[in-house]
Chains A and B, each alone.
Chain A
Amino acid sequence: MSGKTLYDKIWDSHLVKEREDGTSLIYIDRHLIHEVTSPQAFEGLRIAGRQPWRASANFATPDHNIPTTSQERKRGLQGIKDPVSKIQVSTLDNNCSEFNIFELKMNDFRQGIVHVVGPEQGATLPGMTIVCGDSHTSTHGALGALAHGIGTSEVEHVLATQCLMQKKMKNMLIRVDGELPMGVTAKDIVLAIIGKIGTAGGTGYTIEFGGEAIRSLSIEGRMTICNMAIEAGARAGLIAVDEATLEYIKGRPFAPKGALWDKAAQAWKELVSDEDAHFDSVVELQAAVIEPQVTWGTSPEMVSPVTGAIPTLENEADATKRGNIEQALRYMGLSGGTAIEDIQLDCVFIGSCTNSRIEDLREAAKVVAGKRVAANIEMALVVPGSGLVKQQAENEGLDKIFIEAGLEWREPGCSMCLAMNADQLGEGKHCASTSNRNFEGRQGFGGRTHLVSPAMAAAAAIHGHFVDVRKLA
């Protein structure tokens, strides 16, 4: 019999019940909550007269709707101009207080994007099952937790039963071998992976990311990788636990302390796939050939190395794909054959649960230090992922570097990644964005998104078009 994958191990340890057709009840250790996908679930509990099964397993923070200017934030809830958004944020506050759920409220200094704050607070621990009504919950897999997004009916289900009803996924291993070249980051790796396997390549799988290039990433970089597992179609991404994982977690507020820490750390060392584990699918990439990536279309798989060009319709044999490219180019206002470096930009967004951690901000700051944003850039936002990231960045003087270069330094939140608050990309505008989705209208009605790493976005801000960050080094 072959050994177990990391996914098999976490699944097996949380299995409460399995039906004949494989539908299973899985115990959930941590439930993260934000304001957008939870109100209907709490309402469901109230209507049925139910209480949360284990209130202490829940952890909430508002992030999607909240304003990011300090002027608005100073005014608390009253600073949210959109009355509908304000109701959603105050509804979360009320629900958390009614059901005794831990919440970092909008102006708590630890508030931020739920996928940044969870790990930062130690609420994300290796070997946990973690769910949240948000597809980027896959982020937490970077710490060896089985984490994925769920719908609102399931949010209610987890609140009421502490379990989730689901079938086991298949196992996929994506191995990135070798050493990552200078100027190439976690974001470039994951975009290259999506370019290779497509946005449905991981559908039906849990993806484990491995290989030397993944192992050598910081925990922040690993989070960027797992964050976008969903953009490859996989609900959950995983990375095995190692010393770096334990070092990251130790001492965080929700992490175990003292003797309990020692025991936990010992147990977590088992959270790796066995050498003889069976994967249903294995994908291999060589780190050495990965270049900085830029998306040119309306799906994350429409991606090219910065040295490349937008594909031409003539070169695509498949009729369906040709249609997709045509549609994307029409929306993006671009034509096939254009060099990626020739794409002119109007806006830059550095932030989101993909790339708003301290390491991301450091990389971006390094590129813009002592320079000025290009004249054609109308808006350049830097939105830290949490209050603590913001504090750390300010301690390091990064805020000053950004402001002196002409970028705006904002308060933490999801901001222009999905543009539910006032931060929106204008119609027809091109944006170099460190977020995760370039769908039509994602960053604002008619907005045109190009997904890149923080360093690439920063370089684009300075030059007004895409440039290869490796040339700047």
Chain B
Amino acid sequence: MKKFTVESGLVMPLDRANVDTDFIIPKQFLKSIKRSGFGVNLFDEHRYLDKGEPDTDNRSRPLNPDFVLNQARYQGASILLARDNFGCGSSREHAPWALDDYGFRVILAPSYADIFFNNCFKNGILPIVLPRQTIDELFAAVVANEGYALEIDLEEQTLCRPNASDIAFEVDSFRKHCLLNGLDDIGITLEDSELITAFESRWREKAPWYFAQSGNGAAENTEAAGE
């Protein structure tokens, strides 16, 4: 995973509550077996005027001029300003993949759906929770000032605004540590292999029914009807 230390960039406001992951990346793009290339289809149904398919050449598609992502002043934004319950719905990690691939590194919102919030950290995206009033102030500032940019310093846990006081934010210390160092969760967990093995043998002893009769080895479960 790539490291996250400091991010300075333009802010793009998405003034809508309950933005779901279908909104962020529609289902037809989930058919890919890759992890990259989703950026061109970020917010697809709102960004383009026609219906997109995985094999469409997006350069020839009509853009929706009213959608914020297409407005000249927000081109190159890396900070997404959003409303309550951002990322609700489907658990698809394609949503943070699309945000990341497009170039967003930070999200600012009053609240997030749990699965999406978690998925962001696995992809080097920092989702920051800020009080509703602060979010309202930021929306007003972004709309009023073209080129409005912020600097987010993860180590210091501060958000620096132009012509206004810094804002402190909270982040779990372990997640912060992983982001700052670009650490891979699996690598960290496997350092505890012995603990897991020990737990597993105790658990197998205590609750053997969870370990019985599953997998290809179990005779009665392998009689496939075939295609």
Contact = CB atoms under 8 A, between A and B. Distances in A.
A48 B184 CA distance: 11
Interface stretch (A122-130, A239-247, A350-358): A122-130
B225 A160 contact: no
A220 interface: no
Given A17-B195, A204-B114, 14 more contacts: A13-B207, A23-B172, A25-B196, A27-B199, A37-B92, A127-B207, A149-B115, A150-B118, A151-B91, A151-B115, A154-B119, A320-B83, A324-B16, A441-B23
B224 interface: yes
A21 interface: yes
A260 B210 CA distance: 10
Given A109-B225, A203-B85, A23 B20 contact: no
B85 A102 contact: no
Interface stretch (A82-90, A174-182, A272-280, A457-465): A82-90
13 contacts: A57-B215, A58-B215, A88-B31, A101-B215, A104-B224, A110-B225, A134-B91, A154-B118, A165-B185, A203-B114, A230-B89, A267-B207, A299-B18
Interface stretch (B32-40, B144-152, B153-161): B32-40
A82 B222 CA distance: 29
A133 interface: yes
A440 B16 CA distance: 13
A43 interface: yes
Given A16-B195, A76-B227, A162-B196, A102 B190 contact: no
B226 interface: yes
Given A36-B30, A233-B88, A439-B22, A107 B226 contact: yes
A84 B22 contact: no
Contact of B28 (A161, A420, A440): A420
Nearest to B174: A23
B225 A108 contact: yes
Nearest to B119: A151
B22 A128 contact: no
Contacts of A27: 196, 199-200, 203
A85 B222 CA distance: 26
Interface of A: 13-14, 16-17, 19-23, 25, 27, 29-30, 36-37, 39-40, 43, 48, 50, 53-59, 64-65, 76-77, 82, 84-85, 87-88, 91, 100-102, 104-110, 121, 123, 125, 127-128, 133-135, 148-154, 156-157, 160-163, 165-167, 169, 199-200, 203-204, 230, 233-235, 253-257, 260-261, 263-264, 267, 299, 320, 323-324, 327, 418-420, 437, 439-442, 445-446
B185 A157 contact: yes
Contacts of B212: 256, 260
Best-buried of B34, B91, B112, B211 by chain A (most CB within 10 Å): B91
Given A21-B173, A419-B27, A161 B227 contact: no
B89 A437 contact: yes
B165 interface: no
B68 interface: no
A257 B214 CA distance: 13
Contacts of B88: 199-200, 233
B79 to A, nearest CB: 21
B182 interface: no
B31 A420 contact: yes
A91 B125 CA distance: 28
B31 A65 contact: yes
Contact of B33 (A58, A91, A153, A327): A91
Interface residues of B, number: 73
Nearest to A418: B27
Interface string B117-150: 0110011000000000000000000000000000
Interface string B82-112: 0111001111110010000000000000011
Nearest to A79: B227
Contacts, number: 240
B220 interface: yes
Q: Which of A22, A110, A445 has the most CB of B within 10 A?
A: A445
B162 interface: no
Contact of B90 (A104, A135, A166, A169): A135
A135 B151 CA distance: 33
A133 B26 contact: no
Given A108-B225, A162-B196, A200-B88, A260 B208 contact: yes
Nearest to B184: A48
Contact of A153 (B18, B119, B216): B119
A441 B26 CA distance: 8
A143 B167 CA distance: 45
Interface string B158-198: 00000000000000111100000000011011101101100
Contacts of B174: 19, 21, 23
A260 B208 CA distance: 8
Contacts of A101: 215-216
Nearest to A29: B210
Contacts of A20: 173
B6 interface: no
B18 to A, nearest CB: 5
Contact of A107 (B23, B55, B225): B225
Contacts of B215: 55-58, 100-102
A100 B216 contact: yes
Given A27-B196, A420-B28, A235 B224 contact: no
A125 B174 CA distance: 32
B39 to A, nearest CB: 16
For A65, A151, A152, the residue with the greatest tally of chain B CB atoms inside 10 Å of its CB is A151
Contacts of A260: 208-209, 212
Contacts of B113: 200, 203, 233
